[in-house]
Amino acid sequence: MTRKILIIDDDEAFCRTLCRMLERKGYDAFHALDSEQALHHANVRKPDLAVLDLRLGEESGLQLIKPLLGCVGRMRIVVLTGYASLTTAVKAVKLGALDYLAKPVDADTILCALNEKKVERQDDSSEWSPTPLKLLEWEHLQRVLAENNGNISATARQLGMHRRTLQRKLQKKPDLGRGNP
């Protein structure tokens, strides 16, 4: 039996791309661009799995976790975000999500999280590795910069740091490989 997977994200290009990748791996993948479409698909198509973006336009994807589980109690949900934070990760898991992954992420990593399999790391350790602190800091800086419409000076003032320090930190995007120092 083919497993059904619902992709919920307001970025249609991302949804289509991820659906194609998952279909190549043998899944029946379909997508929703907002909470209304997502709940409709959950009620009608009864997916086994769901990939839920943290931000759906102006809405929080976290508000969809309980209603989705109400439609299909056995549904396994993974939350994706461009702005990872410990607070939202804990909240997502408490609401019923299996995992919380920072974008960019590939289809294999999503499937591993949905199927509760560990992603093999280069050091052959099977222990879970949290997102590196430098990556979390860089993502936070990016989020605050976006909130200030790209204004470096306003962002630096808001963060309480020198403008040049902020520019240096923004230029040094950390390695996205989990588990790497």
Q: How far is the C-alpha of 110 from the C-alpha of 51, rounded, in Å?
A: 8
User: Domain spans of the chain?
Assistant: 4-114, 133-171
Looking at 1.20.1530.20, 1.10.10.60, 3.30.1370.60, 3.40.109.10, the CATH number of the domain 133-171 comes to: 1.10.10.60
Give the relative orientation of helices 35-45 and 62-71 as an angle to the nearest 10 degrees.
20
Residue 116: what pLDDT? 58
Q: How far is CA 93 from CA 87, 88, 100, in A?
A: 10, 9, 8
Closest CA to 107 of 80, 139, 68: 80
Q: How far is the C-alpha of 113 from the C-alpha of 69, rounded, in Å?
A: 17
Q: Are strands 59-60 and 4-8 parallel, antiparallel or unpaired?
A: unpaired
Residue 124: what pLDDT? 42
State mean pLDDT over 66-84. Answer: 87
Q: Where are the alpha helices (DSSP H) in the chain?
A: 12-24, 35-45, 62-71, 86-95, 107-114, 133-147, 152-159, 163-171
Residue with tokens 């390695």: 175
State the greatest distance between any 2 C-alpha atoms of the chain, in Å, as a whole number. 57
Residue 127: what pLDDT? 45
Q: How far is the C-alpha of 20 from the C-alpha of 117, rounded, in Å?
A: 22
Average pLDDT, the chain: 81
Q: Does domain 4-114 have CATH number 3.40.50.970?
A: no
pLDDT in tens, 108-141: 888 888 875 544 434 444 444 455 667 677 777 8
At residue 144 the predicted structure's pLDDT band, cuts being 50, 70 and 90, is confident
Indicate the pTM of the whole model.
Answer: 0.64
At residue 178 the predicted structure's pLDDT band, cuts being 50, 70 and 90, is very low
Does residue 179 have a pLDDT over 80? no
